[in-house]
Amino acid sequence: MKKAVFPGSFDPLTLGHCDIINKSLNLFDEIVLAIGVNSTKESMFSIDQRKKFIHDEFINEEKIKILTYEGLTVDFCKKINANFIVRGLRNPADFEFEKTIAQTNKKLTGIETIFFLTSPETAYISSSIVREIITNKGEYTKLVPKSVRWC
């Protein structure tokens, strides 16, 4: 069984995340969308809200599980017997940052990272940009799936 972890804050889930999730569905038998819990970081949305966004968006997808974790992603992967980490790349800066982490993870644990390029129509989207737009009462609905849109 090919099991992958796609870690992130998903604060909130964006169309960029959905793009990577949909691409990974063809490669893996199970994909764990792992919401990282960082007690030092203040989130816009609660863990329960973020779980609901993901659940509602992928309600009919049996391959997806939603879990939360603290600590190192590779330790979480080992705990749930996942041999792959999924990451999305939007630009060269993402690649340089993610490459170093992936190489370290591989060397220390044997866990392989699979990179997906985001589609051009979602490559500019980030959760931090979406949060900034929401905070300033801007139009954010074109950047997130229906499960994240409200009033």
- What is the average pLDDT value for the chain, to the nearest integer? 95
Q: So where are the chain's domains?
A: 3-148
pTM of the model: 0.94
Q: Which residues contact 102 (CB under 8 A, 6 or more apart)?
A: 85, 87, 112, 113, 115
Q: So what's the pLDDT on residue 147? A: 95
pLDDT at residue 11 greater than cutoff 50 = yes
Q: So what's the pLDDT on residue 151? A: 42
pLDDT at residue 92 greater than cutoff 60 = yes
In angstroms, the CA 118 to CA 88 distance is 6
Mean pLDDT of 118-124: 95
- Each residue of 47-82: pLDDT tens digit? 999 999 999 999 999 999 999 999 999 999 999 999
State the CATH class of domain 3-148: alpha beta
Q: Which residues contact 133 (CB under 8 A, 6 or more apart)?
A: 139, 140, 143
